[in-house]
Chains A and B, each alone.
Chain A
Amino acid sequence: MNKDIVTAAVDLGSGSIRLKIVQQTEQGEISVLENVVRTVAVGRDTFSTGRISMEMADEICRVLLGFKKLMNEYKVRRRRIVATSALREAENADAVLELIRVRTGLTVDVLPRTEERYLTRQGALSAIPGFRKMTRDGLMYTRIGSGTTQIAAYDKSGLCFSQTTQLGTLRIHQMLASIEKETLRFQEILSEYITETIQPVLRHGKQQEYERYLISGAVCEAIYRIEENKSRKESYAEFDFSRFEEMYERIINKSAVQIEKEYDLNTETAELILPSVMLIHTFGRLVGAKTLVFSFGGLLDGVLWELSAAKKNEKQRERSYEDLLAYTKVLADRFQCDRRHDDTVNDYAMELFDRLRKPRGYTDRHRILLQMAVLLHETGKFLNLTNYADNSAMLVQAFEFSGISWEERHMIATMIRLFENIELTPKDPAYEEFDRNERLVISGLSMIMRLADGLDYSRKQKFGHVGIQVSKNCLILTAETEQNAMLEQWRLSGFANQVQEILGLELELHIKGGM
Chain B
Amino acid sequence: MSVEEFTRPEYYINRELSWLEFDQRVLDEAKDEQNPLLERAKFLGITLSNLDEFFMVRVAGLKDDIRDATRKRPEMVDPAGMTSSEQFKAISLRTHKLMDDVYMIYNNMLIPQLEQAGFIITDLSRCSEEDREFLKRRFEDEIYPVLTPMAVDPSRPFPLILNKSLNLALFVRDPEGEKHFATVQAPSVLPRLVQLPGSSFILLEDVLTLFMEKLFPGCQVEAAAAYRITRSGDFSFQEEDAEDLLREMEQSLKQRRRGEAVRLEMNKDAEHKLCTYLLKALELEKQDLYLVDGPVDISFVSRAGRLMPLDYLKKDDLIPQVPQDLIGEQDLYEAIRRKDILLSHPYESFQPVVNFIEKAAEDPNVLAIKQTLYRVSGNSPIVQALAKAADNGKQVTVLVEVKARFDEENNIHWAKKLEKAGCHVIYGLVGLKTHCKLTIVVRRDEDRIRRYIHMSTGNYNDVTARLYTDLGFFTCRETIGADASALFNALTGYGDPPDMRSLTAAPIGLRRRFIALISRETEHARAGRKARIIAKMNSLLDPEIIAYLYEASSAGVEIDLIVRGICALKPGIPGVSENIHVRSIVGWLLEHSRIYYFYNDSHEEYYLASADWMSRNLDRRVELLFPIEDEKLRKRLWDMLRIYLSDTQKARVMDKDGGYAKADGRGKPVIGSQEYFYSEALSHAVEAEEEPHRIFRPMESNMPASDETDDVEYKQQDDDDDE
Interfacial residues, chain A to chain B (CB-CB below 8 A): 1, 6, 16, 19, 23, 25-26, 31-39, 63, 66-67, 69-70, 72-75, 230-231, 233, 264
| Chain A, residue nearest B481 (CB) | A33
Q: Mark B461-504, 1 if CB is under 8 A from A, else 0.
A: 00000000000000000110010011001001111101111000
Query: A33-B449, A36-B486 are known contacts; what are 5 more A-B pairs with Cβ within 8 Å?
Result: A1-B447, A23-B448, A32-B482, A37-B495, A37-B496
**Interface residues on chain B, number (Cβ under 8 Å):** 26
- By a CB distance below 8 angstroms, the chain B residues around A74 are 367-368, 442, 449
Whether B489 contacts A34 by the Cβ 8 Å rule is: yes
The A interface, classified by DSSP as helix, strand, loop or mixed, is mixed
Whether a CB of chain A sits under 8 angstroms from the CB of B299 is no
- Would you list 7 pairs from A and B whose C-beta atoms are within 8 A, ordered by A residue? A1-B446, A26-B447, A38-B495, A72-B395, A73-B367, A73-B442, A74-B449
CA–CA, A146 and B609, complex, Å = 40
Whether A36 contacts B495 by the Cβ 8 Å rule is: yes
Whether B448 contacts A31 by the Cβ 8 Å rule is: yes
- By a CB distance below 8 angstroms, the chain A residues around B486 are 34-36
The answer to whether residues A231 and B501 also contact, given A31-B478, A70-B489 and a CB cut-off of 8 A, is: yes
Whether a CB of chain A sits under 8 angstroms from the CB of B444 is yes
Whether B447 contacts A231 by the Cβ 8 Å rule is: no
- By a CB distance below 8 angstroms, the chain B residues around A75 are 367
Whether B489 contacts A23 by the Cβ 8 Å rule is: no
CA–CA, A35 and B498, complex, Å = 9
Whether A231 contacts B395 by the Cβ 8 Å rule is: no
CA–CA, A39 and B493, complex, Å = 11
Q: With contacts defined as CB atoms under 8 Å apart, how many contacts are there between chain A and chain B in the complex? A: 62
CA–CA, A273 and B492, complex, Å = 32
- By a CB distance below 8 angstroms, the chain A residues around B368 are 73-74
CA–CA, A233 and B482, complex, Å = 11
Whether A233 contacts B494 by the Cβ 8 Å rule is: no
For residue A114, give the distance in angstroms from its CB to the closest CB of chain B: 30
CA–CA, A73 and B489, complex, Å = 12
For residue B333, give the distance in angstroms from its CB to the closest CB of chain A: 16
| Chain B, residue nearest A6 (CB) | B449
Whether A36 contacts B489 by the Cβ 8 Å rule is: yes
CA–CA, A69 and B367, complex, Å = 12
| Chain A, residue nearest B499 (CB) | A231
For residue B326, give the distance in angstroms from its CB to the closest CB of chain A: 27
The answer to whether residues A38 and B482 also contact, given A1-B446, A69-B395, A73-B367 and a CB cut-off of 8 A, is: no
CA–CA, A25 and B446, complex, Å = 10
- By a CB distance below 8 angstroms, the chain A residues around B424 are 69
Interface residues of B in 390-438 (CB under 8 A from A): 395, 424
Of the candidates A25, A38, A72, the one whose C-beta lies within 8 Å of that of B494 is A38
The answer to whether residues A38 and B496 also contact, given A25-B447, A73-B442 and a CB cut-off of 8 A, is: yes
Q: Which of B368, B424, B448, B478 has most A Cβ within 10 Å?
A: B448
| Chain B, residue nearest A70 (CB) | B494
| Chain A, residue nearest B424 (CB) | A69
Interface residues of B in 674-699 (CB under 8 A from A): none
CA–CA, A35 and B485, complex, Å = 9
CB-based closest 8 A-B pairs: A36-B495, A66-B494, A73-B368, A73-B395, A25-B448, A36-B489, A231-B499, A38-B495
- By a CB distance below 8 angstroms, the chain A residues around B482 are 32, 35
- By a CB distance below 8 angstroms, the chain B residues around A72 are 395
CA–CA, A230 and B478, complex, Å = 18
- By a CB distance below 8 angstroms, the chain B residues around A19 are 494-495
CA–CA, A307 and B489, complex, Å = 24
Interface residues of B in 29-79 (CB under 8 A from A): none
Whether B447 contacts A39 by the Cβ 8 Å rule is: no
For residue B396, give the distance in angstroms from its CB to the closest CB of chain A: 10
The answer to whether residues A66 and B479 also contact, given A33-B449, A35-B486 and a CB cut-off of 8 A, is: no
For residue B426, give the distance in angstroms from its CB to the closest CB of chain A: 11
CA–CA, A465 and B538, complex, Å = 86
- By a CB distance below 8 angstroms, the chain B residues around A39 are 496
Of the candidates B442, B493, B498, B499, the one whose C-beta lies within 8 Å of that of A66 is B493
The answer to whether residues A233 and B495 also contact, given A1-B447, A35-B486, A74-B442 and a CB cut-off of 8 A, is: no
Of the candidates A23, A69, A230, A264, the one whose C-beta lies within 8 Å of that of B449 is A23
Q: Which of A37, A69, A75 has most B Cβ within 10 Å?
A: A37
CA–CA, A398 and B367, complex, Å = 50
CA–CA, A356 and B498, complex, Å = 54
CA–CA, A39 and B496, complex, Å = 7
- By a CB distance below 8 angstroms, the chain A residues around B442 are 73-74
Whether B367 contacts A36 by the Cβ 8 Å rule is: no
CA–CA, A74 and B367, complex, Å = 6
- By a CB distance below 8 angstroms, the chain A residues around B500 are 231
CA–CA, A26 and B479, complex, Å = 20
| Chain B, residue nearest A65 (CB) | B494
Whether B492 contacts A66 by the Cβ 8 Å rule is: yes
- By a CB distance below 8 angstroms, the chain A residues around B489 are 34, 36, 70
Interface residues of B in 526-572 (CB under 8 A from A): none
CA–CA, A26 and B489, complex, Å = 27
